[in-house]
Amino acid sequence: MQIMTAVRRPAAGIATLLLAAALAVPDGPARAGDVAKPQIVGGEKAAPGEFPWQVALLDGSVGNTFDAQFCGGALISERWVATAAHCVFDGRVEPPSAVDILVGTISLKSGGVRIDVDTIVVHPRYDERTSENDIALLRLVEPVDVETLPPVTLGEETALTAAGTLATAIGWGDTLVKGERFPVDLRKVNVPIVTNRVCNGPRSYAGEVKTKMLCAGLAAGGKDSCQGDSGGPLVVPDGDGGFALAGITSWGARCAAPNKYGVYTRVARFATWIEKVVAAPRRAPAAGVSTAVRATAP
């Protein structure tokens, strides 16, 4: 099993979280490697303002935003970001000071606002070995005035995430099936949701996909998330002209390979936990003090 992350910066600080350790050149090829997902392969550039809730997770110790970006995420409220647990957990929860959030731009080279994080909450049952419960919530030090992305609820799951639904994966991840090329600008790719039964077929993941995971992609391959897309959103139409957060980019074997679908955290199964974490009262941390917790499950 491979986790969909890639390092785009020197191996320092939070870089120890990531399984791939290649330093990529903007929009240029880098060292080839059989690393797990994600980045967007077979997609296209997103338009400015198309996905206003999309954010980039940045290494707080690196000033250059392109080099600092290591995962994606989505604003689910004015102060909370949903991402993958494996982006911020490596045997322990990373301190909030290690992570910044880039909001309000599709470019890793210009625009947007870099915001500090004051709390990181990793799901208490996250399993690094199996990638089960691969979800974390990050609280910003201050609210942002940006359109947010509602998570799919358990009651909406059947209607919004049925097999065949055309979902959209979004991120700044690798764009090449072989080798590496990381884009400056945000990219998107449309991929159909497939059943867990199909995803667990003998040519696919043979039982590794669990009930709280969601798969999307093409049997023929060619379109997928890839390394660098981890933590980013898989969105579906909400039935009212907008989008809803159906999945969080989690893992996969190779990028855009036949029968190797992208695997995402099934957000609807965590709706109650998300609500409890976001609603829980929290004291503002003292100056210079960061808070990192593994919140209890509902």
Q: Is 196 helix (H, G, I), strand (E, B) or coil?
A: helix
pLDDT at 220: 79
Q: Which class for 51: exposed (0-12), middle (13-18), buried (19 or more C-beta within 10 A)?
A: buried
Most confident of 60-69, 180-189, 216-225: 60-69
What pLDDT is recorded for position 30?
A: 30
CA dist., res. 296 & res. 249, Å (int): 23
Residue 16 CA to residue 130 CA, distance in Å, equals: 19
Nearest to 54 by CA among 157, 183, 161, 147: 147
Grade residue 179 by pLDDT with cuts at 50, 70 and 90.
low
Q: Could you confirm whether 185 is annotated as catalytic?
A: no
Would you say residue 1 has pLDDT above 70?
no
- To the query of whether residue 131 is one of the catalytic residues in this protein, the response is no
- Residue of 59, 118, 134, 174 marked active site: 134
- Catalytic residue chosen out of the listed positions 204, 225, 230, 250: 230
Lookup result for tokens 């992350």? 5
Q: Is pLDDT of 297 > 50? A: yes
pLDDT at 292: 61
Q: Which of 59, 67, 86, 118 is catalytic?
A: 86
Q: Check whether 6 has a pLDDT greater than 90.
A: no
State yes or no: pLDDT of 162 exceeds 60.
Answer: yes
**pLDDT band, very low/low/confident/very high, at 7 (cuts 50, 70, 90):** very low
Cα–Cα separations (whole angstroms), residue 225 to 11, 72, 207, 282: 23, 11, 21, 34
**Contact indicator for 142, 121 with CB cutoff of 8 Å:** no
More confident residue, 188 or 178: 188
Residues in contact with 24: Cβ distance below 8 Å, sequence separation at least 6, in sequence order: 6, 8, 30, 174, 180, 181, 182
pLDDT band at 126, cuts 50/70/90?
A: very high
User: What pTM, to 2 d.p., does this model score?
Assistant: 0.83
pLDDT band, very low/low/confident/very high, at 92 (cuts 50, 70, 90) = very high
Task: Please indicate whether residue 230 is annotated as part of the active site.
Answer: yes
Q: Name the average pLDDT for the chain.
A: 82
Please tell me what DSSP assigns to residue 271: H
Give per-residue pLDDT as tens, 239-281.
Answer: 999 999 999 999 988 777 788 999 999 999 999 999 999 998 8
Q: Per-residue pLDDT tens for 8-58?
A: 222 234 433 332 322 232 333 232 233 343 445 566 789 999 999 999 999
Given a cut of 60, whether residue 143 has pLDDT beyond it is yes
Rounded distance between C-alpha atoms, residue 102 and residue 111, angstroms: 9
Could you tell me if 278 and 76 are in contact, meaning their C-beta atoms sit under 8 angstroms apart? yes
CA atoms of 34 and 226, how far apart (whole Å): 11
Which domains does the chain possess? 13-26+51-148+271-287 (2.40.10.10), 157-268 (2.40.10.10)
Instruction: Please report the pLDDT score of residue 225 as a whole number.
Output: 77
